[in-house]
Amino acid sequence: MKSEPLSYLPAGDQGPWGIYLEQVERVTPYLGKLSYWVDTLKRPKRVLIVDVPIHLDDGTVMHFEGYRVQHNTSRGPAKGGVRYHQDVTLSEVMALAAWMSIKNAAVGLPYGGGKGGIRVDPTKFSPSEIERITRRYTSEIGILIGPKKDIPAPDVGTGQREMAWMMDTYSMNVGSTTPGVVTGKPIAIGGSLGRQDATGNGVFFTAAAAAEKIDLPIEGSRVVLQGFGNVGNAAARAFYDHGAKIVAVSDVTGAIINEKGIDPYDLLEYVQKSETRGVLGYPKAEPLPAAELFAVSCEFLVPAALERVITEQNAWKVDTRIVVEGANGPTTPAADDILAERGIIVVPDVIANAGGVTVSYFEWVQDFNSYFWTEEEINQNLERVLREAFEAVWQVAQDRKVTLRTAAYIVAATRILEARALRGLYP
């Protein structure tokens, strides 16, 4: 008997969660006997919605909507970031948690998937207000999180600062310092070397692995990046350091182009000093209409911002050899089909941007052992893990004659559902 649809999302457009469900439907025919358990993937294990009230600096009280979702814990504790963004929704957080389940399983990490978020524009509040939001949110979700239950990390709108506040709040509430409750912390309180650039470096490692399969050299290749935040700028620097040419970049302020190449180190310095904190106005490049970014000819296109940016409306315009998904869910299923039809390789988010959670895993292990690795050891292990994961996914794609995304889901879903089947149902 099929399970009933979830009642707490609209029956029509289910947003990012709907995209995830379609991806699960596509992989189901490849799961064999494990498809008996496939509804496990279609239902989050736990969904917590919390009210986050704080005193603003002017003395008034404001309420924020917060979430924490644990999608699946068959293979280990939930793991996933906390997003601060004004457009955060339950559907989005559910999808992000589910993608974390797939990502952790595809890479082979002993985690399930989790995700959190608060509907807030962090740019419109002072540091002290953000601290109060973070601490209250942490207290509210404290019933779910813990170093052996659910380990948050940074995501869009959050970083080391917020993770330090979360760790401290949790530690105060349980009565002992607990570094392993979050990852992505500052080095001084149990963070890991290499974590800041891990996701962007992972984008480069998986891009390089894909390029090797089609004999595409990195040196001299052209790269277009949509998004120049933590992931985008780290990926840009990694490509640049290996001889690639960054020809176009966009962020929330706009898009820029220079076919002779953009120095990402210089661009990052400009962004950090500019009033808009964005790429628009960079004097060593020309402005470009944002809608034309994906049509810029390149060898690597890196969407590194938010979900659903490559759609069936613009997928026909994409002019690249390889799409490397630095963001979560940037390509819709319909766009996936178009890109596949056009022979464009898509390195899916669940392995392309898994560098962050991989180094988060390293941080978690280091916290438990109170023994920390060098940055060289971190980066060597990161590259090894991601290249091995990519190789396994590539082989499944060749054997089954499917896209890399479907292959990644076959690998991940098989691992998750094998764990579900072996553990059985309690009671």
> How far apart are the C-alpha atoms of 350 and 15, rounded to whole Å?
18
**Backbone φ and ψ of 81, nearest 5°:** -80, 180
CA angle, 341 then 238 then 376, to 5°: 125
Burial class (CB in 10 A: 0-12, 13-18, 19+), 283: exposed
Structure token pair of residue 328: 């979560």
Residues 6+ apart with CB under 8 A from 327: 227, 231, 303, 304, 305, 306, 307, 309, 349, 353
Burial class (CB in 10 A: 0-12, 13-18, 19+), 275: exposed
CA dist 135 → 139, 156, 165 (Å): 6, 18, 6
The one-character DSSP state at 36 is G
The one-character DSSP state at 109 is -
**Backbone φ and ψ of 55, nearest 5°:** -85, 125
Structure token pair of residue 20: 């995830």
Evaluate whether 162 touches 120 at the Cβ level (below 8 Å). Answer: no
Residue of 79, 115, 185, 245 with catalytic role: 115
Evaluate whether 84 touches 154 at the Cβ level (below 8 Å). Answer: no
CA angle, 403 then 323 then 251, to 5°: 145
Omega within 30 of 0 (cis) for the link into 427: yes
Give the residue from 213, 215, 200, 310 showing the smallest Cα distance to 246.
Answer: 200
Catalytic-residue membership of 115: yes
Task: Kindly write down the DSSP assignment for every residue of 144-211, as one continuous string.
Answer: T-BTTTEEEEE-TT--HHHHHHHHHHHHHHHTS--GGG-SS--GGGT--TT-TTHHHHHHHHHHHHHH
Structure token pair of residue 178: 């607990």
> What are the catalytic residues?
115
